[in-house]
Amino acid sequence: MAVVAFKWGEKQLMLMQNRENWESCPVNVADWDEERQILGGFYGQNGGTWCGISKRGRVAFLVDVMPFDNVSRCELIPLAFLKGALTPEEFGNSVVAERVMYNGLAFHLVVGDIKSNSMVYIAKRHAQEAHVEKNNVEPGIHILSLAGLDPAPQQFERLRQEFSAVVAGNEDIQPPHLEEFALRVMTNRDGNNPLFYDITRAIPQRRTVEARIGISSTTALVVKPNGDGLFYKRALANSEWIDKRETFHIDD
């Protein structure tokens, strides 16, 4: 399962991401890249990321289906945007124009520039088809999953309502609120949590006898209008959960 709930607009962002991967998939906690310009949870095999933000205010997050052998190039696409200089619109156009480069991949990607208040959704729904769609993302609350941006099933509407209750009317939301929400709604398999199971059933799953899929990471990201931000990630490493928080500031 992969799902992102986020609210953006007016140079701020509040985001919660949950991801399930094959148990052998090496996912790291929140950290900086070597140049200390990009903050994210980097994938151990190729250094890509499913969710990251740069000090320049560029943000990218992705949901995709992880292959059984853990070999994928999808997580390199957000990294390309974070490192690059193209606007979200230009980057989306480049993915559409160069769609043959993404043969064999299927993904749903959002790229944005917090400083310029621009955000674009890019989708390649089928690995064996070359079609790529691109749309602007309006300010407000959205859900991103393998079913697309703002999918219709009732389960996602319930997630939107719960997320809205956390962030609505609170422009100075503190990161712990999103951390608690992400852990309570998305990663707690124990107890009475029907929303978790409803969302799980609503998203396409891939399972085999040889490999098991399970929750590998939960992310909460907050960027305030003044540029202050916090990136929280909880990742599973060697059968143990590790939490890490990193603060940052968007450069003027």
| Domains contained in the chain, CATH given | 2-249 (3.60.60.10)
> What is the rounded CA–CA span in Å between residue 176 and residue 243?
12
The whole-number pLDDT of residue 211 equals 45
Residues 166-204 have pLDDT tens digits of: 887 655 656 566 667 666 665 554 444 445 445 555 555
Q: Using 50, 70 and 90 to split pLDDT, how confident is the model at 234? A: confident
Does the pTM exceed 0.95?
no
31-39 LR contacts (CB < 8 Å, sep 24+): 31/244, 31/246, 32/246, 38/79, 38/82, 38/83, 39/231, 39/246, 39/248
Q: Using 50, 70 and 90 to split pLDDT, how confident is the model at 216? A: low
Sheet holding 228-237, edge to edge: 148-149, 140-145, 2-9, 12-22, 213-223, 228-237, 240-249
Closest CA to 114 of 233, 3, 222: 222
Residues 95-150 have pLDDT tens digits of: 999 999 998 899 999 999 999 999 999 999 998 888 999 999 999 999 998 889 99
Q: Using 50, 70 and 90 to split pLDDT, how confident is the model at 57? A: very high
